Amino acid sequence: MKILYVIDECTRVHIGVAIDKKLPASMVIELPDTFARERGRPAVIRMDNWPELT
């Protein structure tokens, strides 16, 4: 099971989540782009060190 959380660290607002058996690169790219269109682009993005992303 793979989980991708998108959280505003400053306000701790939960922006979104994707849960699936597999999270293909297209979904990892598409989900934050969707939120950026809705909320605007953040000044900084921090990612957890997932083994899949290194």
CA distance from start to end of the chain: 18
26 burial (CB, 10 Å; 0-12 / 13-18 / 19+) is exposed
Number of domains in the chain: 1
Dump pLDDT digits (tens) for 1-54. 888 888 888 888 888 888 999 888 888 888 888 888 988 888 888 877 666 655
pTM of full prediction above 0.85: no
What is the residue range of 48's domain?
2-53
Spell out the residues 6+ positions from residue 35 whose beta carbon is closer than 8 angstroms to its own.
Answer: 6, 15, 16
* Residue 49: per-residue pLDDT: 65
